[in-house]
Amino acid sequence: SQKIEQNSEALNIQEGKTATLTCNYTNYSPAYLQWYRQDPGRGPVFLLLIRENEKEKRKERLKVTFDTTLKQSLFHITASQPADSATYLCALDIPSGTYKYIFGTGTRLKVLA
């Protein structure tokens, strides 16, 4: 079955630096991959979606890459700010014909001022 691994449970970086979060999957390549942000006690908020035929997607300070050969997606936040501190989740579709997705456990990012 498909498994998702997100690099580390927690990541601390200095303000202004680029944060890079990793999402690895173990089995089939998904048709698309999503990244969500979750703040404590809140529901996840959609950030970016990248499809299997796309190498890179950008939105303001966010960038997502998708490498089906490495079975990996990287999520970058450039010029990071303390307000970027949150847990970031990746999610993959399951090609079962229904509405199924699987989520990773997330990486908790802390941007230090």
Partner 1 sequence: ETGVTQTPRHLVMGMTNKKSLKCEQHLGHNAMYWYKQSAKKPLELMFVYSLEERVENNSVPSRFSPECPNSSHLFLHLHTLQPEDSALYLCASSQDKDEYTQYFGPGTRLTVL
Question: What residue ranges bind partner 1 (CB under 8 A)?
Answer: 4, 9, 32, 34, 36, 41-46, 49, 89, 91, 93, 98-106
Smallest gap from Cβ 80 to partner 1, in A, equals: 23
Q: How many whole angstroms separate alpha carbon 21 and alpha carbon 31?
A: 20
Pick from 46, 24, 51, 23: which is nearest to 35 by CA? 46
Q: Which of 34, 25, 32 is nearest to 90 (CA)?
A: 34
Closer Cβ to partner 1, 21 or 106, answer by number: 106
Tell me the closest approach of the beta carbon of residue 13 to partner 1, in angstroms. Answer: 22
Nearer CB in complex with partner 1: 45/79:
45
What is the torsional sign of CA 42, 79, 75, 5? negative
* Of 45 and 112, CB closest to partner 1: 45
Least distance in Å: CB of 45 to partner 1?
A: 7
Minimum distance, C-beta of residue 84 to partner 1, in the bound complex (Å): 19
Nearer to partner 1, 64 or 80 (CB): 64
DSSP-derived 3-state class of residue 39: coil
Beta bridge partners of 100: none
Decide the pairing of beta strands 107-112 and 10-14. parallel
